[in-house]
A and B are shown apart, each in its own frame.
Chain A
Amino acid sequence: MRPAAGPATPAPRSAPLSGRVARWLVDRWVVGVALLVLGYLLLPIAVVAALSFNQPTNRLSYDFHRFTLDNWANPCATRDMCDAVVRSVQVGFLATLVATVLGTMMAYALTRHRFRGRSGIGLLVLLPMATPELVLGTSLLALFVAAGAPQGFWTVVVAHVMFCLSFVVVTVRARLAGMDRRLEEAAMDLYATEWQAFRRVTLPLLLPGIAAAALLAFSLSFDDFIVTNFNAGTTVTFPMYVWGAAQRGIPPQVNVVGTAMFALALLLVALTSLPRRPSRPHR
């Protein structure tokens, strides 16, 4: 990891021996532990990927039995599961759209305007993040029951927008705070109205932040189980399907979806991080 100080070539004699030994230990120890922890983090993903190529002996067995591509070839062999994935994508798309638009508006107002109640609203936005998901779920359930609202697709969307909103605001706000305010002032000085300054200067520069926030919102929504579980009624999202199937034994296609999501996310990360590099000069 640090080719400069390999153990084979001892450091110059000038440093005191105890210091060098301590430094060497700290370096190696930290790096060693870090690698082990990474292994811990990646192990289950490897298992999921492996199982996606498994032909199980029976539904309750998770042992690797025989390599097959069948699961990837027929991801929709279990119809219910595919329906659930489609449902999750629909929910995720709607929730992301609404949360990103509302959240960006809020973040802009909170960073670029001073107004009464600003700090109170800033706190209100943070509160859902500090509340256990379980409580978010049960309280919404209590509300929907009291209001007599039928639970289903739309209650799930509403709930997902609520918890995604906070994350969008925090993400976009951080990006806005790091943006030179003089750019917007320069735009206004050059005859751009506030809207034009936002449209021509703020928005293009903010776009990576908004995209990151939208991705985060979508992944939070797609993966949510707890809040959904309390508010889905008979609607089945992908996590809900997995939860139900876990009792009966899950089909290997679930691992296909898990692996595919992982691969897709990696691809997105690669795509978004590559072109950003040259635009920023080295400090």
Chain B
Amino acid sequence: MTDRSAPSPASHRTPAARPAASVPGGGPGRRRVLPYLLVLPGVAWLVLFFGLPLVQLAAASLYDPTGSLSTGYVFAWAFGNYPDALATYWPHLARSFGYAGLALLLALALGCPLAYAIALRAGRWRNLLLVCVVAPMFTSFLVRTLAWKTILSDQGWLVGLLRDVHLLAPDGRLLATPFAVVLGLTYNFLPLLVLPLYASLERLDRRVLEAATDLYADPLRTFLTVTLPLAKPGLVAGVLLFFIPASGDYINAELLGSPNEYMVGNVIDSAFLVRLDHPQGAALSFLLMAAVLGLVVTLLRHTRGEGSPALDGGAR
């Protein structure tokens, strides 16, 4: 019946199959243009105010460093800006990644149990606990960081208590120490780590865990061999969402630390807004971005091919 050589009653009229492209009608043409019309404004915005600025920043990082904002900068392929900036400010870059890394470890130690408890142990309290996790994001970033400044202040009850139990020397401080900065970073970005982790744990089919228990895995082995691999996409997303802003942050270092704790962000801020040394600020910005991008790519490549739906929600 379907064989071309065996003619069916209808195929007498049309001797050959015709490609659908030649089909008449106004619809198909407009359909092909529509998606482009829909994405055009957004793409234009991103190209103009995300792509183009990065190009300009790259150009600025190669300006002749002897120029100034008032006399005007000259583009000079001044690659020397990079080693110069690195030579002066490598401790700040190192501190950025050191503090952010420490904060990440701390956040993992705190966030994993929290996400696990909310997703699998909270029962009907789940939504309330979730709101509590997101709650810090509802108050202003700066206001809540200033609250930590109050809590950690030399006259505060916390410092008093720690001095009394001799965990802190009588003249010891919490504020203006690396501890305060790491604590602030951990606090401010912890929800960003917990939420995706929670989401992937929550999606996890509880029957799979029960099956593991049924197959003689003890709780620890269930967690290591079943829960963790299944939660990996969420974990990766959480780590990225935490680390990217944490390493570029300078508010915590400024408010909770002292110049001894300044991170690369503080330097970039002052290069652009105080010292008006744009080439140096641009070079440092690029160094930061390169380091972060390198990290992102490494992490994503390590987890690719495990069917991670991580960030791309739409592909079908």
Contact = CB atoms under 8 A, between A and B. Distances in A.
A–B contact via C-beta, under 8 angstroms: yes
- Contact count band on B: 35 or more
Interface stretch (A6-14, A37-45, A69-77, A200-208): A37-45
B39 A106 contact: yes
B250 A134 contact: yes
Contact of B38 (A26, A106, A262): A106
Interface in A200-259: 219, 222-223, 225-226, 229-230, 238-239, 242-243, 246, 250, 254-255, 257-259
Contacts of A129: 244, 311
Interface residues of A, number: 98
B187 to A, nearest CB: 7
A194 B35 CA distance: 12
Contacts of B273: 229-230
Contacts, number: 279
A201 B157 CA distance: 57
B248 A139 contact: no
A19 B53 CA distance: 58
A247 to B, nearest CB: 10
B43 A140 contact: no
Nearest to B312: A122
Contact of B121 (A1, A42, A110, A225): A1
Contacts of B50: 127-128, 131, 136, 139, 162
A219 B240 contact: no
Given A27-B121, A47-B151, A258-B140, A111 B314 contact: yes
Contacts of B56: 139, 142-143, 146
A89 to B, nearest CB: 13
Nearest to A122: B312
Interface in B93-148: 110-111, 113-114, 116-118, 121-123, 125, 127, 129, 131-144, 146-148
Contacts of B46: 124-125, 128, 162, 165
Given A1-B122, A48-B143, A109-B35, A135 B57 contact: yes
B4 interface: no
Contacts of B169: none
A17 to B, nearest CB: 12
A123 to B, nearest CB: 9
Given A48-B143, A105-B42, A170 B313 contact: yes
Give the 9 A-B residue pairs with the shortest CB-CB distance, closest first: A132-B248, A34-B117, A139-B53, A265-B138, A44-B147, A113-B35, A258-B143, A109-B38, A139-B57
6 contacts: A26-B223, A108-B38, A130-B293, A170-B311, A177-B314, A273-B127
